[in-house]
Amino acid sequence: MATKFNPKYGVFLPIVLAITIFLWAVPVSFFGIEALTVVQQRVIALFVFAALMWIFEIIPNWTTSLLVIVIALLTVSNKGISFFCDPQYGTLVPYARIMSSMADPVVMLFLGGFVLAIMAERYGLDVTLARALLKIFGTKPEIVLLGFLGMIALFSMFMSNTATAAMMLALLTPVLSKLPADDKGKIGLALSIPVAANLGGIGTPIGTPPNATAKGALEQAGIDISFGDWCMHMIPYVVIMILIAWVVLRFMFPFKTKKLVLEIPESRVKKDWKLYLVWITFIGTILLWATEQLTGINSNIVAWIPLAVFTATGLFGKEEIKEINWNVLWLVAGGFCLGYLMQDTGLAKVLIQAIPFGNMSVVLVLVVAGLVCYLLSNFISNSATAALLIPILIVVASGMADPAASNNAQFVSLGGTPAMIVFIATCASIAMLFPISTPPNAIASATGMVETKDMTRIGLVIGLVGFILGYFWLTKLFPFA
């Protein structure tokens, strides 16, 4: 069977390769950056290559990440091609350091989150929780809408947004079918899926890939935000945004129906030791994540506990391993690799010295960076946007965090590096204008009940409110200490 030709290969790939080769081959003096080395020039070319490949999606985003890692190993590591990897060209990166991006502690944190999500779905924890929590919202449509928003947001904090949206669509479909065709409330209920899934993921470090990228980048910069500290700061933000979304959805898409009965099927999973073990492990893992500052156990280490328990007891085997979303892990790893390259080759330091970040307006930098992230995330994946921008912004933040910088006092007063990087991750998650913006948006669009104009309307409101609240929340109201 012949493979279908991808037109992007013929249109965009030659352009991307031409730009990359040009940046790779021109004299170092072309960049106008004093002290720039050949190795650092290659990292710039590799960064541009990754950015363009992610933007145009010529190949799957995760394969671009793998390409970045392989090219880096061959051309800027201490064990790469001898012709390229000569110390005279600049500081080379230890090959083990580049390879470690595939098993960065934050990648392992995400892996643990995937394992919990898979087991929760396999043993019906998701349906059981949904039945228990949604039961308290009664039959009034507006309250049922609030229940779905809260439920989806809660699940998105610990499961992938896509998996949560797909699961909740299955629960929501019978409800939607009972509403009259002319009831605008159907649109509001369908839109509650992407809105709550995108917002809910902001609440925890494992809720969405941009959070993992942000946490990993902060750790590289020597700033460790614990799982509990992240939750304590960002879950209240999520709660406020969910309430705002509830009000906006009710206003834009009012219900005509006065009574709505939920019929969620009971989980048919056999109640035996396996089910109880999954419950205990699930609750225990979340408690350990939430009490990291009390127990002293790093959240990345905690993520391995469910994997160890489930594999040792035979609950998690080769079939379950296939269900892990490996492409997300590889994509995040590629972003970490770029961060390693910028730091270890000295490129980050060179850029800090070459670009006067220390004299720029902190507010302007934060707003412009947030807007760029938000706009990009509406057209390319949130994960790719975060992997592209956060390594750059860590460099920007380092420049402004320098005590010698003229804007250092203002930068510190606005929350410093944690505020900037977590704000960027938040901007990636609130981008939801179109069906292509996020998988949950696509799932909602697939119901046939949501027109793009409706999605864009609600997306604009949530994006604008989320952006403004996120900025003031992280810089003024509740900054990370």
- Written as tens digits, the pLDDT of the chain (481 aa) is 444 556 666 688 999 999 999 999 999 999 998 889 999 999 999 989 988 888 787 888 889 889 999 999 999 999 999 988 999 999 999 999 999 988 888 788 878 888 888 888 888 887 777 667 667 887 788 998 998 899 899 989 987 787 788 777 767 766 777 778 888 998 999 999 899 999 999 999 989 989 999 999 999 889 999 999 999 999 999 999 999 999 999 999 999 888 876 666 666 667 889 889 999 998 898 888 878 778 888 888 888 999 999 999 999 988 888 888 788 788 888 888 988 898 889 888 888 778 777 778 899 999 999 998 998 888 777 888 888 889 889 989 988 998 988 899 999 999 999 999 999 999 999 999 888 788 888 878 877 788 888 999 999 999 999 999 999 999 999 998 6
Q: What is the pLDDT of residue 3?
A: 47
- Gyration radius from the chain CA atoms: 23
Sign of CA dihedral 331, 336, 339, 343: negative
- pLDDT at residue 268, rounded to an integer: 66
Tell me, what's the pLDDT at 340? Answer: 87
User: What's the per-residue H, E or C state across the chain?
Assistant: CCCCCCHHHHHHHHHHHHHHHHHHHCCHHHHCCCCCCHHHHHHHHHHHHHHHHHHHCCCCHHHHHHHHHHHHHHHCECCCCCCCCCHHHCCCECHHHHHHHHHCHHHHHHHHHHHHHHHHHHCCHHHHHHHHHHHHHCCCHHHHHHHHHHHHHHHHCCCCHHHHHHHHHHHHHHHHHCCCCCCCHHHHHHHHHHHHHHHHHHHCCCCCHHHHHHHHHHHHCCCCCCHHHHHHHHHHHHHHHHHHHHHHHHHHCCCCCCCCCCCCCCCCCCCCHHHHHHHHHHHHHHHHHHCHHHHCCCHHHHCHHHHHHHHHCCCCCHHHHCCCCHHHHHHHHHHHHHHHHHHHCCHHHHHHHHCCHHHCCHHHHHHHHHHHHHHHHCCCCHHHHHHHHHHHHHHHHHHHHCCCCCCHHHHHHCCHHHHHHHHHHHHHHCCCCCCCCCHHHHHHHCCCCCCHHHHHHHHHHHHHHHHHHHHHHHHHHCCCC
Residue-level pLDDT at 263: 64
pLDDT at 59: 86
Sign of CA dihedral 460, 252, 429, 49: negative
Token representation of residue 461: 């409101």
* Report field, pTM of the whole predicted structure over 0.75: yes
**pLDDT of the residue at 298:** 83
